[in-house]
Amino acid sequence: MHRFFSRAGLLCASAVMTVAGLSSPAAAQEAGNAAAGKQIFLKYTCYGCHGFSGQNGPGARLVPMRMTQSGFISYVRNPRTRQMPSYSTKVLSDAQLGDVYAYIKTLPASRAAKDIPELNQFKEQ
């Protein structure tokens, strides 16, 4: 009977980890190489529309990233706007887009206006 509970416990723990995304193949795929992603971001001039910070320019704001990695890849493959070109797997693999996603996730979010002393000076005047 002890053996049964051990297997059941192991199965439950495994199920919880999978649901939480801790040991699933999808979670393993989401771990990209941010350094490689930065090189791709620069090579394909993503900064031209999204800015070097990922949050300025005429393109969509990428920081803070609100999409999942799979959602990001799907969007890059089939953007909803005509301003952004689509990138097929012939141009960028899912792994490369995972690297870009990892890089974007490293970019810091902008500070709130109330936390910028220079803006507060204008408010006080």
For the segment 13-53, what is each residue's pLDDT rounded down to a tens digit? Answer: 333 333 333 334 444 346 799 999 999 999 999 999 999 99
Instruction: Respond yes or no on whether the N-terminal peptide bond of residue 79 is cis (omega within 30° of 0).
Output: no
Please tell me whether residues 5 and 46 are part of one structural domain: no
| Count of all residues that appear for the chain in the document | 125
> What is the reported pTM?
0.70
pLDDT tens track for 111-120: 888 888 888 7
User: Does residue 82 fall inside a structural domain?
Assistant: yes
| pLDDT of 92 above 60 | yes
Q: Which residues contact 70 (CB under 8 A, 6 or more apart)?
A: 26
Residue 87 lies in a domain: yes
Q: Is 121 part of any domain? A: no
List pLDDT tens digits, range 63-73.
999 999 999 99
Domain boundaries, position 17: 1-29
- For residues 33 and 69, the answer to whether their CB atoms sit within 8 Å is no
Same domain, 22 and 41: no
For residues 40 and 89, membership in a common domain is answered with: yes
Domain of 68, CATH number, reads 1.10.760.10
Q: What's the number of domains the chain is made of?
A: 2
- Residue 20 is assigned to a structural domain of this protein: yes
